Protein backbone atom coordinates (compact mmCIF):
# COMPACT_ATOMS: atom_id res chain seq x y z
CA UNK A 1 0.00 0.00 0.00
CA UNK A 2 1.36 3.41 -0.94
CA UNK A 3 0.29 6.96 -0.33
CA UNK A 4 1.20 10.10 -2.21
CA UNK A 5 -0.42 13.52 -2.48
CA UNK A 6 1.22 16.05 -4.80
CA UNK A 7 0.72 18.45 -7.66
CA UNK A 8 0.53 16.67 -10.99
CA UNK A 9 2.94 19.18 -12.44
CA UNK A 10 5.69 18.15 -9.99
CA UNK A 11 6.87 15.33 -12.26
CA UNK A 12 10.54 15.93 -11.51
CA UNK A 13 9.97 15.64 -7.77
CA UNK A 14 7.89 12.51 -8.22
CA UNK A 15 10.53 10.86 -10.43
CA UNK A 16 13.21 11.60 -7.84
CA UNK A 17 11.01 10.27 -5.08
CA UNK A 18 10.25 7.07 -6.94
CA UNK A 19 13.96 6.49 -7.59
CA UNK A 20 14.58 6.95 -3.88
CA UNK A 21 11.84 4.51 -2.94
CA UNK A 22 13.03 1.89 -5.42
CA UNK A 23 16.64 2.13 -4.26
CA UNK A 24 16.31 1.87 -0.49
CA UNK A 25 14.07 0.86 2.41
CA UNK A 26 12.53 3.85 4.12
CA UNK A 27 14.11 3.88 7.55
CA UNK A 28 13.06 6.39 10.19
CA UNK A 29 15.62 9.02 9.17
CA UNK A 30 14.66 8.67 5.52
CA UNK A 31 10.97 9.03 6.32
CA UNK A 32 11.62 12.13 8.38
CA UNK A 33 13.63 13.64 5.54
CA UNK A 34 10.91 12.94 3.00
CA UNK A 35 8.20 14.18 5.34
CA UNK A 36 9.95 17.51 5.65
CA UNK A 37 10.97 17.93 2.02
CA UNK A 38 8.43 16.28 -0.27
CA UNK A 39 4.72 17.27 -0.31
CA UNK A 40 3.39 13.71 -0.52
CA UNK A 41 1.71 11.17 1.72
CA UNK A 42 4.26 8.51 2.60
CA UNK A 43 3.50 5.19 4.24
CA UNK A 44 5.11 1.96 5.35
CA UNK A 45 3.47 -1.35 6.15
CA UNK A 46 5.25 -4.16 7.99
CA UNK A 47 5.10 -7.94 7.99
CA UNK A 48 5.56 -7.76 11.77
CA UNK A 49 2.19 -6.02 11.97
CA UNK A 50 0.52 -8.51 9.62
CA UNK A 51 1.13 -5.94 6.87
CA UNK A 52 -0.70 -3.30 8.84
CA UNK A 53 0.27 0.38 8.68
CA UNK A 54 3.58 0.98 10.47
CA UNK A 55 3.90 4.65 9.53
CA UNK A 56 2.10 7.35 7.56
CA UNK A 57 3.16 10.98 7.49
CA UNK A 58 1.22 14.17 8.26
CA UNK A 59 0.36 14.90 4.62
CA UNK A 60 -2.27 12.17 4.80
CA UNK A 61 -4.60 14.71 6.44
CA UNK A 62 -4.76 16.79 3.27
CA UNK A 63 -5.41 13.65 1.25
CA UNK A 64 -8.00 11.98 3.48
CA UNK A 65 -9.18 14.48 6.08
CA UNK A 66 -7.85 12.19 8.83
CA UNK A 67 -4.67 12.99 10.77
CA UNK A 68 -1.55 10.84 10.75
CA UNK A 69 -2.18 10.20 14.44
CA UNK A 70 -5.55 8.64 13.55
CA UNK A 71 -3.74 6.10 11.39
CA UNK A 72 -0.59 5.63 13.46
CA UNK A 73 -2.66 5.08 16.64
CA UNK A 74 -4.89 2.62 14.77
CA UNK A 75 -7.96 4.78 15.33
CA UNK A 76 -8.69 4.20 11.66
CA UNK A 77 -7.08 1.93 9.08
CA UNK A 78 -6.38 2.74 5.47
CA UNK A 79 -8.75 0.04 4.32
CA UNK A 80 -11.57 1.63 6.33
CA UNK A 81 -11.65 4.43 3.75
CA UNK A 82 -11.05 2.36 0.59
CA UNK A 83 -14.12 1.60 -1.53
CA UNK A 84 -14.90 -2.10 -0.82
CA UNK A 85 -15.37 -2.90 -4.51
CA UNK A 86 -11.84 -1.62 -5.21
CA UNK A 87 -10.16 -3.88 -2.62
CA UNK A 88 -9.60 -6.81 -5.04
CA UNK A 89 -7.60 -4.49 -7.33
CA UNK A 90 -5.29 -3.53 -4.47
CA UNK A 91 -4.93 -7.10 -3.17
CA UNK A 92 -3.99 -8.38 -6.61
CA UNK A 93 -1.33 -5.68 -7.13
CA UNK A 94 0.20 -6.10 -3.65
CA UNK A 95 0.22 -9.91 -3.72
CA UNK A 96 1.85 -9.91 -7.14
CA UNK A 97 4.52 -7.46 -5.93
CA UNK A 98 5.25 -9.61 -2.86
CA UNK A 99 5.52 -12.71 -5.02
CA UNK A 100 7.91 -11.05 -7.47
CA UNK A 101 9.57 -8.84 -4.82
CA UNK A 102 9.00 -5.82 -6.98
CA UNK A 103 7.36 -2.42 -7.06
CA UNK A 104 3.75 -1.84 -8.06
CA UNK A 105 1.27 0.86 -9.01
CA UNK A 106 -2.48 0.71 -8.54
CA UNK A 107 -5.33 3.22 -8.79
CA UNK A 108 -8.51 3.14 -6.73
CA UNK A 109 -10.96 5.26 -4.73
CA UNK A 110 -11.07 6.34 -1.11
CA UNK A 111 -13.66 8.29 0.86
CA UNK A 112 -12.50 11.38 2.74
CA UNK A 113 -13.72 12.27 6.19
CA UNK A 114 -16.16 14.76 4.62
CA UNK A 115 -17.63 12.03 2.40
CA UNK A 116 -15.99 13.20 -0.82
CA UNK A 117 -14.48 10.64 -3.18
CA UNK A 118 -10.75 10.86 -3.91
CA UNK A 119 -9.04 8.93 -6.69
CA UNK A 120 -5.71 7.64 -5.41
CA UNK A 121 -2.70 6.33 -7.27
CA UNK A 122 -0.63 4.10 -5.01
CA UNK A 123 3.02 3.57 -5.89
CA UNK A 124 5.07 1.30 -3.64
CA UNK A 125 8.08 -0.96 -3.39
CA UNK A 126 8.44 -4.30 -1.60
CA UNK A 127 11.47 -4.30 0.73
CA UNK A 128 13.10 -7.62 1.60
CA UNK A 129 14.99 -8.66 4.74
CA UNK A 130 18.43 -10.26 4.93
CA UNK A 131 16.92 -13.62 3.96
CA UNK A 132 15.38 -12.17 0.81
CA UNK A 133 11.84 -12.36 2.15
CA UNK A 134 9.40 -9.41 1.94
CA UNK A 135 9.47 -7.53 5.23
CA UNK A 136 8.05 -4.07 4.47
CA UNK A 137 6.23 -2.14 1.81
CA UNK A 138 7.10 1.52 1.43
CA UNK A 139 5.48 3.97 -0.89
CA UNK A 140 3.40 7.04 -1.58
CA UNK A 141 -0.20 7.97 -2.40
CA UNK A 142 -0.94 10.39 -5.22
CA UNK A 143 -4.21 12.27 -5.39
CA UNK A 144 -5.10 12.13 -9.09
CA UNK A 145 -8.75 13.16 -8.71
CA UNK A 146 -8.35 16.22 -10.92
CA UNK A 147 -6.57 14.18 -13.56
CA UNK A 148 -9.28 11.50 -13.39
CA UNK A 149 -11.98 14.13 -13.88
CA UNK A 150 -10.10 15.49 -16.89
CA UNK A 151 -9.65 12.01 -18.36
CA UNK A 152 -13.37 11.27 -17.93
CA UNK A 153 -14.21 14.59 -19.57
CA UNK A 154 -11.95 13.86 -22.54
CA UNK A 155 -13.48 10.39 -22.86
CA UNK A 156 -16.96 11.94 -22.97
CA UNK A 157 -15.84 14.19 -25.85
CA UNK A 158 -14.41 11.20 -27.72
CA UNK A 159 -17.66 9.29 -27.14
CA UNK A 160 -19.71 12.19 -28.50
CA UNK A 161 -17.52 12.36 -31.60
CA UNK A 162 -17.80 8.60 -32.14
CA UNK A 163 -21.61 8.95 -32.12
CA UNK A 164 -21.53 11.70 -34.73
CA UNK A 165 -22.23 14.51 -32.28
CA UNK A 166 -20.05 17.63 -32.48
CA UNK A 167 -19.45 19.18 -29.03
CA UNK A 168 -18.10 22.64 -28.35
CA UNK A 169 -14.31 22.91 -28.30
CA UNK A 170 -12.63 22.22 -24.96
CA UNK A 171 -11.56 25.43 -23.21
CA UNK A 172 -10.47 24.05 -19.81
CA UNK A 173 -6.77 23.98 -18.98
CA UNK A 174 -5.09 20.56 -18.96
CA UNK A 175 -1.56 19.57 -18.05
CA UNK A 176 1.09 17.34 -19.62
CA UNK A 177 -0.02 14.71 -22.11
CA UNK A 178 -3.68 15.47 -21.41
CA UNK A 179 -3.20 18.92 -22.93
CA UNK A 180 -1.91 17.33 -26.13
CA UNK A 181 -4.91 14.98 -26.19
CA UNK A 182 -7.19 17.98 -25.65
CA UNK A 183 -5.57 19.79 -28.59
CA UNK A 184 -6.06 16.75 -30.83
CA UNK A 185 -9.72 16.42 -29.82
CA UNK A 186 -10.25 20.13 -30.52
CA UNK A 187 -8.67 19.63 -33.95
CA UNK A 188 -11.18 16.84 -34.63
CA UNK A 189 -14.03 19.08 -33.47
CA UNK A 190 -12.84 21.90 -35.74
CA UNK A 191 -12.57 19.49 -38.67
CA UNK A 192 -16.01 18.05 -38.05
CA UNK A 193 -17.40 21.59 -38.17
CA UNK A 194 -16.38 21.44 -41.82
CA UNK A 195 -18.36 18.22 -42.21
CA UNK A 196 -21.35 19.89 -40.58
CA UNK A 197 -21.07 22.91 -42.91
CA UNK A 198 -20.84 20.65 -45.97
CA UNK A 199 -23.89 18.74 -44.73
CA UNK A 200 -25.83 22.00 -44.41
CA UNK A 201 -24.86 23.15 -47.93
CA UNK A 202 -25.78 19.79 -49.49
CA UNK A 203 -29.18 19.83 -47.82
CA UNK A 204 -29.76 23.31 -49.28
CA UNK A 205 -28.75 22.08 -52.72
CA UNK A 206 -31.15 19.12 -52.37
CA UNK A 207 -34.03 21.65 -52.47
CA UNK A 208 -32.40 23.69 -55.26
CA UNK A 209 -31.05 26.38 -52.97
CA UNK A 210 -27.58 27.06 -54.32
CA UNK A 211 -27.13 30.50 -52.84
CA UNK A 212 -24.45 29.53 -50.32
CA UNK A 213 -21.18 27.61 -50.46
CA UNK A 214 -18.76 26.32 -47.85
CA UNK A 215 -16.95 29.34 -46.39
CA UNK A 216 -14.96 27.85 -43.48
CA UNK A 217 -11.25 27.08 -43.72
CA UNK A 218 -10.36 23.50 -42.86
CA UNK A 219 -7.42 21.10 -43.15
CA UNK A 220 -6.82 17.62 -44.53
CA UNK A 221 -9.79 15.55 -45.63
CA UNK A 222 -12.15 18.22 -44.29
CA UNK A 223 -10.59 20.78 -46.65
CA UNK A 224 -11.00 18.27 -49.50
CA UNK A 225 -14.68 17.82 -48.61
CA UNK A 226 -15.24 21.57 -48.54
CA UNK A 227 -13.56 21.94 -51.93
CA UNK A 228 -15.59 19.06 -53.42
CA UNK A 229 -18.86 20.50 -52.08
CA UNK A 230 -18.11 23.91 -53.56
CA UNK A 231 -17.14 22.30 -56.86
CA UNK A 232 -20.46 20.43 -57.01
CA UNK A 233 -22.27 23.67 -56.26
CA UNK A 234 -20.34 25.44 -59.04
CA UNK A 235 -21.30 22.65 -61.48
CA UNK A 236 -24.97 22.89 -60.49
CA UNK A 237 -24.93 26.67 -60.91
CA UNK A 238 -23.33 26.21 -64.33
CA UNK A 239 -25.97 23.65 -65.37
CA UNK A 240 -28.70 25.99 -64.13
CA UNK A 241 -27.21 28.78 -66.24
CA UNK A 242 -27.04 26.51 -69.30
CA UNK A 243 -30.66 25.43 -68.87
CA UNK A 244 -31.70 29.07 -68.56
CA UNK A 245 -29.85 29.77 -71.83
CA UNK A 246 -31.57 26.87 -73.53
CA UNK A 247 -34.95 28.13 -72.32
CA UNK A 248 -34.43 31.37 -74.26
CA UNK A 249 -32.86 29.72 -77.31
CA UNK A 250 -29.25 30.67 -76.45
CA UNK A 251 -26.81 27.94 -77.59
CA UNK A 252 -23.68 30.09 -77.47
CA UNK A 253 -21.96 27.72 -75.04
CA UNK A 254 -22.48 24.68 -77.27
CA UNK A 255 -18.99 24.52 -78.79
CA UNK A 256 -17.21 24.92 -75.44
CA UNK A 257 -19.39 22.18 -73.95
CA UNK A 258 -18.64 19.89 -76.88
CA UNK A 259 -14.93 20.27 -76.17
CA UNK A 260 -15.54 19.00 -72.63
CA UNK A 261 -17.84 16.22 -73.82
CA UNK A 262 -18.05 14.25 -70.57
CA UNK A 263 -16.63 14.94 -67.14
CA UNK A 264 -16.44 11.20 -66.42
CA UNK A 265 -17.34 7.90 -68.08
CA UNK A 266 -20.60 7.88 -66.14
CA UNK A 267 -21.49 11.48 -66.98
CA UNK A 268 -24.96 11.61 -68.56
CA UNK A 269 -25.80 15.17 -67.59
CA UNK A 270 -23.42 17.11 -69.83
CA UNK A 271 -24.12 15.02 -72.94
CA UNK A 272 -27.85 15.58 -72.34
CA UNK A 273 -27.33 19.34 -72.15
CA UNK A 274 -25.23 19.25 -75.33
CA UNK A 275 -27.98 17.35 -77.16
CA UNK A 276 -30.59 19.76 -75.87
CA UNK A 277 -28.57 22.75 -77.12
CA UNK A 278 -27.98 21.07 -80.46
CA UNK A 279 -31.70 20.40 -80.89
CA UNK A 280 -32.59 23.96 -79.90
CA UNK A 281 -30.00 25.28 -82.30
CA UNK A 282 -31.37 23.09 -85.13
CA UNK A 283 -34.91 24.14 -84.29
CA UNK A 284 -33.95 27.81 -84.43
CA UNK A 285 -32.04 27.36 -87.71
CA UNK A 286 -34.98 25.42 -89.22
CA UNK A 287 -37.42 28.11 -88.14
CA UNK A 288 -35.22 30.81 -89.64
CA UNK A 289 -35.02 28.91 -92.94
CA UNK A 290 -38.81 28.52 -93.09
CA UNK A 291 -39.23 32.25 -92.54
CA UNK A 292 -37.06 33.14 -95.54
Q: Are 44 and 95 contained in the same domain?
A: yes
What pLDDT, on a 0 to 100 scale, did the predictor assign at position 166?
Answer: 87
Residue 34 lies in a domain: yes
Q: Worst-scoring range by mean pLDDT, 36-40, 125-129, 140-144, 265-269?
A: 36-40
**156 touches 56 (CB < 8 A):** no
Q: Are 134 and 189 contained in the same domain?
A: no
Is residue 292 scored above 80 in pLDDT? Answer: no
45's CB contacts (< 8 A; 6+ apart) are 1, 51, 52, 53, 54, 136, 137
What is residue 125's three-state secondary structure?
strand
Residue 121 lies in a domain: yes
Sheet of 41-46: strands edge to edge? 52-56, 41-46, 134-143, 117-128, 103-111
Confidence of residue 6 (pLDDT cuts 50, 70, 90): very low
Rounded mean pLDDT, 143-162: 88
Which residues constitute the domain of residue 94?
11-143
Q: Are 120 and 199 contained in the same domain?
A: no
Residue 19 lies in a domain: yes
pLDDT, tens digit (0-9, with 9 covering 90-100), for 26-36: 455 555 565 65
pLDDT, tens digit (0-9, with 9 covering 90-100), for 225-277: 999 999 999 999 999 998 898 888 888 888 998 999 998 999 998 999 899 88
CA 247 – CA 219 distance, rounded (Å): 41
Q: What is the DSSP letter of 169?
A: P
Count: domains in the chain: 2
pTM higher than the cut 0.75: no
What pLDDT, on a 0 to 100 scale, did the predictor assign at position 286?
Answer: 78
Residue 96 lies in a domain: yes
What is residue 104's three-state secondary structure?
strand
Amino acid sequence: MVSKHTDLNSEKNMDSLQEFINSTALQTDNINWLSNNVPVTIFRTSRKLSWGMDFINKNVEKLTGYSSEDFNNKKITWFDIVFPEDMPIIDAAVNNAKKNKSSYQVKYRIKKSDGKTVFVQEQANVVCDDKGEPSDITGVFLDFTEQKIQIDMLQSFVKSLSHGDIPETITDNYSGNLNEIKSNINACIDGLQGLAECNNILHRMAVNDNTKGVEGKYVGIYANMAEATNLVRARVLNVTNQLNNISVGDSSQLESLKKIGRRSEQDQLLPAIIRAMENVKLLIEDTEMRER
